[in-house]
A and B are shown apart, each in its own frame.
Chain A
Amino acid sequence: NAGVTQTPKFRILKIGQSMTLQCTQDMNHNYMYWYRQDPGMGLKLIYYSVGAGITDKGEVPNGYNVSRSTTEDFPLRLELAAPSQTSVYFCASRPLTDSYEQYFGPGTRLTVT
């Protein structure tokens, strides 16, 4: 299994541009999550999904959108990039049962200038 994969690894955006961060998992996990990590701030939950077709807001959803059309994919959309969205973004997934452990992707480093 590849686990959780994210693309791209790095991206520089201009203010006002849009982009989609891709996340795919091949473990047939029901739950998927998007976090952002800012220096000294830990991981903040942006959006999450408990299964295909179901998404919900996390702690910091403003400026982002998500969709979950399949079990495997959970893309994160930035519509109008702002400097405050400069961050490292992590996608994670978790199985329905078992030990509640979350599995993280390698991250996407995004800079908005």
Chain B
Amino acid sequence: ILNVEQSPQSLHVQEGDSTNFTCSFPSSNFYALHWYRWETAKSPEALFVMTLNGDEKKKGRISATLNTKEGYSYLYIKGSQPEDSATYLCASNSGGSNYKLTFGKGTLLTVNP
């Protein structure tokens, strides 16, 4: 079983703060690392999919980096807004398969106005 770990489990920040979360994963048999944003009562939506060591991706105020050699990824949110409040899920391939994902338990972000 592939273990994908996320930290912190939950996070409260004030509007305007910048923040970041961590995802760690086994680096062997790696294919891709996914970040999903999951709002309450909705379904997860993909933010980023990264495949190469050193990948950096950005979407508005949110960015992510990938280190496949040491097995971690960071997700950054600059100038957090209340609408950023959600659970952020990290997922990676499992068992050497490029079509099955193992998800972490997520980081619940709450942005206070």
Instruction: Report A's interface with B, CB cutoff 8 A.
Output: 31, 33, 35, 40-45, 48, 50, 58-59, 90, 94, 99-107
Contacts of A102 in B (CB 8 A): 34, 46, 101
Given known A59-B1, A100-B34, A106-B43, contact A43–B99 (CB-CB < 8 A): no
Specify the main secondary structure of chain B where it touches its partner: strand
Give the number of residue pairs across the A-B interface with Cβ within 8 Å. 49
Given known A94-B99, A100-B31, A100-B32, contact A42–B43 (CB-CB < 8 A): no
In angstroms, Cα B42 to Cα A35, docked, is 15
Known: A31-B99, A90-B44, A104-B43. 14 other contacts (CB 8 A): A42-B103, A42-B104, A42-B106, A44-B103, A45-B101, A48-B100, A59-B102, A94-B99, A99-B49, A100-B31, A101-B34, A102-B46, A103-B46, A106-B42
Contacts of B103 in A (CB 8 A): 35, 42-44
Closest A residue, CB atoms, query B47: A101
Interface string of B39-83 (1 = CB under 8 A from A): 000111110010100000000000000000000000000000000
Contacts of A44 in B (CB 8 A): 103
Contacts of B51 in A (CB 8 A): 100
Interface residue from B1, B45, B105 paired with A42 (Cβ < 8 Å):
B105
In angstroms, Cα B105 to Cα A40, docked, is 6
